[in-house]
Amino acid sequence: MCEARVCVVTGAGRGIGRAHAELLAAHGALVVVNDLGTAVDGSGTDRSLADDVVASITRDGGVAIANHDNIASWEGAQRLINTAIEHFGGLDVVVNNAGILRDRVLVNMTENEWDAVIDTHLKGTFAMSRWAGSHWRERAKSGQTNNARIINTTSVSGLYGNLGQTNYGAAKAGIAMFTQIAATELGRYGVTVNAIAPLALTRMNQGLPQMVDASDEQRDRLSTRKVAEVAVWLASPDTDDISGRVFEASGEILAIAEGWHRGPTADSVVDERDLDTVLRRLLTRARPNADIDGQDSPD
């Protein structure tokens, strides 16, 4: 599906990112495997993780190189994009997958816990997309054609909300809207932008009660490969008609997240004393916020 397409995957040393990189390579892509090798909370580094994925891909007959730049750094993201272009002679796909967790209830969250998560997820997605988008724009301006992809990683936490994740959920919600706007801006250059909200059993969620209590059958269904299959499909040259969408993907469900829509409306009031009556009437007609499963909350 991705024969000879040059693909950059961030956070590809473990989990879903590694599944993306390995399956893209199995489908013929030339892959840049990026990973700092940090712990779940973003601390520490381990260059061997990206190197190990490259070794695995190479043993299986694929083509890949490792990169250890920090994508939350402006210069690091630029170096990573340049690495792909200089080593493989081009760039077709960027998969923004790198992420960390610093879960904490709002009133206990520190500034550092907020900044670290926002930087890695939201700034990292922006920086990578910005440098890739600039490359594709210059190609388009020079008369060359692109059939390029940006595939972002959002989360149901950012779409529907999850306790203890104001930082993570805010970043992932930002990525979902970033995806929609970037799709509109970059379409003129032959670039599609989509996002995946994945669910798979990884080190980032293995401590959650529903993961700890999962049966062997459920664990098999929550394979990272099922998410990677959607990423490879989006990365293929045959999906140039799909952009600005958010896909929920797991071994249990495939879904399209439909985003914000305007609900019940009324004319603006003349007298502010009427606000309570008018807005409460609208609330009785409004659909409840979705729960974490994307369904109408009983509240």
**pLDDT of 141 higher than 80:** yes
Q: What does the alpha-carbon distance between residue 174 and residue 171 come to, in Å, rounded to a whole number?
A: 5
Catalytic residue among 88, 168, 178, 247: 168
Q: Is 168 a catalytic residue?
A: yes
Set out the domains of the chain in order of their start, with CATH numbers. 6-257 (3.40.50.720), 263-299 (no CATH)
Q: What does the alpha-carbon distance between residue 274 and residue 157 come to, in Å, rounded to a whole number?
A: 35
Q: Dihedral of CA 153/155/159/164: which sign? A: negative
Model pLDDT for residues 8-31, shown as the tens digit of each residue: 999 999 999 999 999 999 999 999
Check residue 211 and give its pLDDT: 55
Model pLDDT for residues 86-130, shown as the tens digit of each residue: 999 999 999 999 999 999 999 999 999 999 999 999 999 999 999
**Percent of the residues in the chain that have a pLDDT greater than 70, as a whole number:** 93
- From the list 12, 85, 84, the residue with the least C-alpha distance to 55 is 12
Model pLDDT for residues 51-63, shown as the tens digit of each residue: 999 999 999 999 9
**pLDDT of 162 higher than 80:** yes
The residue that leads in pLDDT, 159 or 205, is 159
**Where is average pLDDT lowest: 31-35, 164-168, 205-209?**
205-209
pTM: 0.93
**pLDDT class for 213, splitting at 50, 70, 90?**
low
